[in-house]
Amino acid sequence: MSDPEIDADPAADDELTSPWIGLLTAVGAGLIAVVGVQVLLGLAQTLTFPGGEFDLPYRLGVPFGPLGPSTSLTLVVGLLLVSLPALLGEPVSLERDRMSGLVVTATIALAIILMFGAVLSTRATIIDYSQQRQGAVPAAVMIQFVKTLLGSLGAAALALFTGVVMRRLRRTEVPTPGV
């Protein structure tokens, strides 16, 4: 037996059929927000360096050192969670669709920033290493730096790719009016 009041409200029907969708999309948005805060704090950290001591690429690269591949993979997980309604063919409200679109766009921007940050971070690490050792960076150490760079770039590229795919997926899905 169904309640006619619940059947008359499509939003309530949506909540009854998939109550976990809202929670998972909120968790996904939260994961992406955490990465966004990390990136913003990293960019703010660049303002704390003495002006003439380091060049701008170095100052921009240092804060991205701790933001390795796991940070970008957090974006991928967040995107998948935010995009669950579209992936599962679930109807979404216009508000949830707008929030999803904003989160996907922010994720694409964060992935691009993380890609540049990975390159600048590797550059800063090489500079630090060569200054500490007073000489050229050995080939074995340089290979390690390149492996780290490729891991960070690959994970950020995966986040970027996932964001673009999810953006296209959202464009093919039409939000259910009034839901």
Closest CA to 128 of 48, 54, 34: 54
- pLDDT (average), residues 136-159: 89
Q: What angle do CA 175, 178, 179 make, to 5 degrees?
A: 65
Give the pLDDT confidence of 62-95 residue by residue, as tens digits. 888 888 889 999 999 999 999 888 888 777 778 8
Amino acid 47: pLDDT: 79
The structure tokens listed for 131 are 């200054």
* Reported confidence tier of residue 34, pLDDT bands at 50, 70, 90: very high
Residue-level pLDDT at 5: 45
**pLDDT tens-place string over residues 86-126:** 888 777 778 888 888 899 999 999 999 999 999 999 998 88
Residue with tokens 């006619």: 4
Domain limits of the chain? 4-172
Better-scored residue on pLDDT, 127 or 176: 127
Q: Which of 114, 118, 117 is nearest to 72 (CA)?
A: 114
Lowest-confidence region among 19-23, 41-45, 48-52, 154-158: 48-52
